[in-house]
Structure 1
Amino acid sequence: MPWYPLSAKVFTSTTMRPVARAASGHKLLAEMLEKRPDARPVCADALYERLEPFAVGLPMLPGFLAKSPSPGRMYARMVGRVLSG
């Protein structure tokens, strides 16, 4: 499998314009590396939500992810739905 830099994957999405996606990625990275803790993303959930739009067109990870969900993943998904309301 060829290696692609992050910037190559950024331009494959049709949900955001490539320039806007790259700019928002650079801004998020700068916030994550900020020296002042109060200027960083407040929690892992907030960071996850901001990173999620970048996860497009990713290939399956052989041996780690299967096309059908595992029983543990299905259980975790249901628990997440129950806990989120």
Structure 2
Amino acid sequence: MNEEKEMELLFNQLMEGKSINELDARQMKGLLKVFVAKTAKINERKIQLEKPPNPPSNNKNVISTSLVEDLLNDGF
């Protein structure tokens, strides 16, 4: 858990301009794990956003368009 937090901090430092040349092999491996995890989360979110929204259920509170049109046509 400490290593995970350390790698998150290191990742943020790199994003702010720290040179990747300053890292040792352990830090590079840890950053690779962080990168893989972040990429997986991004891909998961992309899939969620590409799914169409759920259609309305057969809830009694939902008024159908045809019912509204019938009421309007009947002079309501």
Instruction: Determine if the TM-score, normalized by the shorter chain, exceeds 0.5.
Output: no
- Using the size of structure 1 for normalisation, the TM-score is 0.28
**Structure holding more helix per residue:** 2
Bigger relative contact order, structure 1 or 2 (CA pairs below 8 A, ≥6 apart): 2
Query: Which of the pair has more CA radius of gyration?
Result: 2
